[in-house]
Amino acid sequence: MNIMLKRLAGLACLGAFFLLQGCERPPIETVQRGYRGVAMGEVYNPRRVADQAANNAIPDVAPALPGPGPKASTVYKNLKVLGDTDSAEFVGIMAAMTAWVAPSQGCTYCHDAANFASDGLYTKVVARRMLQMTQHLNQDWKSHVAGTGVTCYTCHRGQPVPANIWFGNDGEKHADGVLGDHAGKNEPSQIAGLSSLPFDPLSTFLDAPNEIRVVGQTALPTGNRKSIKQTEWTYALMIHMSESLGVNCTYCHNSRSFTDWDQSTPQRATAWYGIRMVRDLNGAYLDPLATTLPPNRHGPMGDGPKVDCATCHQGAYKPLYGKSMLSDFPALAAKTSTN
């Protein structure tokens, strides 16, 4: 009997040990983000914040500012985006793009060394579209990126392929029919950890304009298709958004009413624009680029890589903690007339 009890106690200890493996080591601190009593605390761990600081430092790259020189289009042959920039500024942008996107590969990652005007390498064609995308983001999506804006570094961080990209995913193969229909769940999720939530909410919400609404606005379910299934899809997306920014749900919502905008923080409105911005980036830039990228860059369904909240944010509430590089690179801040 005694031995049985000891064994049980041993098992319980082992169980508790494995359970606690899922917990984060203290200290845990909280900051109030709402009025007193509304329980809108932001929970964070200073150790993890310190780890993050290095990832969010701005690289040491010489600025590219206009000089008194001639326009780049008078010096070079094949410019479709940066023709109107000053020629010295143009060379500065090329140097910065190399540092931001292909530091170990150098200029020849995008250029044929024998002929810089050639568009022979796919990477140059993609980079030209990326220049247009960056200018479009900074000029037309101020509702999200504000004056801070983005550069190539915001997403690329010194690598040709950004660390956070995603592809369409139709899951593992299953039997046909009702038994095979698992509603997009119960497989390792690409975004919401190993939860049993739908594993691909990104195609649904960040590459298509589906409504992100699950709370009924009327007492009776009149004309209201809100279901548990839709709620699960919404939660999977919300977990992605929280994890991408390194914040809790209460960074944007007061959990007593997730739907009510009056009780939400201003950050929720910024996030609302962010969702529309990401759809625009995927629809107008990334999806069409799939045909320019070689097959080894495609996902399992043959589609191209896409952007989500983590592509820029990488775990920070503002990418690079809100530091802006645009004043050093004015050509990236707005569309140029040859564009």
Binding residues among 14-43 for ligand HEC as defined by CB under 6 A: none
If binding is defined by CB under 6 A, does position 165 make contact with ligand HEC? Answer: yes
C-alpha to C-alpha distance for 117 and 143, rounded to whole angstroms: 36
If binding is defined by CB under 6 A, does position 267 make contact with ligand HEC? Answer: yes
Q: In the bound complex, what is the minimum distance in angstroms from residue 54's beta carbon to ligand HEC?
A: 19
**Which long-range contacts does 185-190 make (Cβ < 8 Å, 24+ apart)?**
185/232, 189/236, 190/166
C-alpha to C-alpha distance for 238 and 275, rounded to whole angstroms: 11
If binding is defined by CB under 6 A, does position 154 make contact with ligand HEC? Answer: yes
Q: Which residues contact 191 (CB under 8 A, 6 or more apart)?
A: 166, 199, 201, 202, 236, 239, 240, 243, 308
Q: In the bound complex, what is the minimum distance in angstroms from residue 151's beta carbon to ligand HEC?
A: 6
With CB under 6 A as the contact rule, the residue among 109, 140, 210, 334 that binds ligand HEC is 109
Q: In the bound complex, what is the minimum distance in angstroms from residue 22's beta carbon to ligand HEC?
A: 17
If binding is defined by CB under 6 A, does position 234 make contact with ligand HEC? Answer: yes
If binding is defined by CB under 6 A, does position 247 make contact with ligand HEC? Answer: yes
Q: For residues 183-222, which are near ligand HEC according to CB under 6 A?
A: 212-215
If binding is defined by CB under 6 A, does position 97 make contact with ligand HEC? Answer: yes
User: Which sign, positive or negative, has the C-alpha torsion 228, 230, 236, 241?
Assistant: negative
Size of the site for ligand HEC (CB under 6 A): 82
If binding is defined by CB under 6 A, does position 249 make contact with ligand HEC? Answer: yes
**Residue of 239, 209, 210, 213 whose CA lies nearest to 226:** 213
With CB under 6 A as the contact rule, the residue among 146, 163, 183, 208 that binds ligand HEC is 146
In the block, residue with structure tokens 């932001």: 42
Q: Tokens in use for 194? A: 């190993």
* Residues 135, 136, 142: CA angle, nearest 5 degrees: 100
Residue 191 vs 214, nearer CB to ligand HEC:
214
If binding is defined by CB under 6 A, does position 96 make contact with ligand HEC? Answer: no
Q: In the bound complex, what is the minimum distance in angstroms from residue 34's beta carbon to ligand HEC?
A: 14
